[in-house]
Structure 1
Amino acid sequence: MTERVRVVVLAGGPSAEHEVSLQSARAVLDALPKDLYDPDLVVIGRDGTWPVELRRDEVDVVFPVLHGPFGEDGVVQGHLETLGIPYVGCGVLASAVAMSKVAMRHAFLAENIPVTPHVWFTEHEWRTATDHWSLVKSLGWPMYVKPANMGSSIGVSRVTSMEELRAGVDLALTYDRVVVVEQGVTARELICGVLGGYDDAKVSVPGELIVPGDWLDYTAKYLSTAEIATIPTVLPERVADEVRELSLRVFRAIGGYGLARVDFLYEEDAGRLYVLEVNTMPGFTPRSVYARAWAASGVPYPELLRRLIDLAFARGRS
C-alpha cells in the first residue's frame, strides 16, 4: 500500500478573516481523499501563536488556507520557504503584491490591464490634509473606500457624500494605515478561476456574483444562506473570452502559481471590463465560488485539491 501524503492544513491566524479561514479549512479537510492523504489541522491563534512547530521530516506539504494579512500576504509563505516545506498556492512575491490593493494595481497598470479609476493615501496624509476632497477629487460619487490590505469585504464602505467618506476612511484605517478609494461603476460582478503553474495555467468558466443591493458585503458572503453566484454565467462570447484572457494576464502580472481567483466589473452597456482584484487564496468554503467554478469546468472539489497539492510538490522539485 502506498504511504499517504502527510498534509498540514494551516488555518486561523491573526487577521480579521480568522473565522472565514476556519470554514475553508474544514471544507478542505472533509474533501481530501483519505486514501491518498493523511491530513492534520493546525490552527494559528488570533495572537499569531503557532500551536506546534512544523518540521520538514514530519510534514510532506502544507495547505495554507489562510486569508488576509499574515497568511495571504507572503508572510507564512516566506516562513514555509525557510523550513523547506512545499506548500499550496502563490509564492512570497505574488502573495504580497496581490494582498496590497495599491501594489496590485501598479502591477496591472504596468501590463495595460484595465482597472477602475482610484486613488490611495496614507493615514498621515489623511490626518494632515486641510481639504479631504482634494484627495479624492478625481473621482465621482459613489465611491468605495477600502483598507489597502484586507479581504472578504472587511472594512469596506460605499460612500455618496463627504460625511460618509470620512466615516468610511475612519473605518478602513482601523484595519490598515493605507486606504484605497475606488470609483463606483454600475456593473455586473464576474469571477474566473486560475489553476496551474507559471507556464501552464488554465482558467475556469466565468461566474457571476449575485449582489443583494449595492455590493456584496461580508454578511452576504459568509453569514447569509442566500445564493451568491451563478456559475457558469451567460456572457457574450467575446466578453467570456476576454475574461479568460485577462485572468491569465493578471496571473502572469503578479507571478502567480498554483491558484488565484480574478474578480471583474463588467459594464454591460459599454461592453467594458475592469479587473477589480486577484485573490491568491480565495475562500474554500462549500459556498465559495472558486471551487464551484472549477466544478462547473469539469474539476470536482477533491480533484481540485489533489491538483493543487501536486503543483506544490512540482514547485518544490524545481
Structure 2
Amino acid sequence: MQFRYLGNSGLKISEIIYGNWLTHGSQVENDAAKACVRAALDAGITSFDTADVYANTAAESVLGEALAGERRESLEIFTKVYWPTGPKGHNDAGLSRKHIMESINGSLRRLKTDYVDLYQAHRYDIETPLEETMQAFADVVRQGKALYIGVSEWTADQIRAGQAIARELGVPLISNQPQYSMLWRVIEGEVVPACREQGLSQIVWSPIAQGVLTGKYLPGQPVPAGSRATDAKGGAQTIARFMNDDLLTRVQNLKPIADELGITMAQLAIAWVLSNDNVAGAIVGASRPEQVTSNVAAVGVTLDDSVLAAIDSTLGDIVQRDPSLTAKSSPATRPA
C-alpha cells in the first residue's frame, strides 16, 4: 500500500479506500462484509469510508462491528451527513446545526469510536445558511468528534465559499468526494482547479464506474446474474447511465491496453484515477474478499502519457465532461 496526504493537511490516507455504499447492510450479508473488511486490512488499507444514509445507518453499524478490536490510531475512518436517515422526519436531513450535531453522535455510536478522522457534507444544502453549516462542522471538530472536515459533490463555487468561512473559523476543508472515472470526468474542468487553489484533494467514488470498467458487461448480452445491474436496491439505478452498447463496446476496447500492461481492466481504471495528482485516494467496494485483493494491486501502477492517450482515443466522445452535472447531483430542495 502507498499513502498520500489529504489536502493541505498532515493526514495521510491509503491510496485505496474501502467503502461500503450499496454493500454493507444491503447487498452483502454481514459475514461477507466483515470478510471484505478483513481482506482490506490484510492488504494494507487503513482508510474506510461510509455514510449515515447507507442502508439507512446499517452500513455504519456493520463497519463498526468489522473494525472492532483494531488499533484505532492505525485507521482513518470517514463518514458523511446530509441525506435523510432514521424515520426521515422534517429535521432528519440536510446540513442544519441540529441535524449535523445529532448525526455525528449517531454515527459515532454505530461506528463504535470516539471520533471520525473525516466528517463530510454529503451534498450541498441549499436551504441552510452556509455559515450555520460551517460553524456546526467547526464545532464538531472542536468537540473532538471529528479531526478534519470535507465535502462531497460540491461545485467549485460552493467549495470556495465554504472554504472561506472554514478558514475564518480555523477549521479548513481538506477534501472533496466526487464521482470520478475514465467515463465520468465532470470535475476536471472546474472542481479540481478550485480544489488545488483552496487546498483540498479528491477522495473519488466509483472509479470503476459501478463495475462497468471491469469489462464484465458485454454489448448486446444479458447482464451477469447477481451483478450490480440486477440489484433492485439501488445498484441497477446507479449503473443505468452506462448501460448502452456504444459505451460498453468502447470499454471492451480497453482490454488490449490492460493486457499490454499485465493488469486487469479494474486495475487499469483505478490506476487511471490515481494518476491525477489531485486525487488522494480511490474508494472501492466489494462483495467478495478477492475483489479487494485484486483492486489493491493497482497501487504503484504507472500509466505513461502514451497509455493515457490510448485510453482517451479508445473512449472518445462517450466520456462525460459537463461540469454542470456536479451541481445537479445536489437536490434543489432539502430531501425528505
Q: What is the TM-score with the length of structure 2 in the denominator?
A: 0.31
Q: Could you say which structure has the higher strand fraction?
A: 1
Q: Could you say which structure has the higher helix fraction?
A: 2
Q: What is the TM-score with the length of structure 1 in the denominator?
A: 0.33
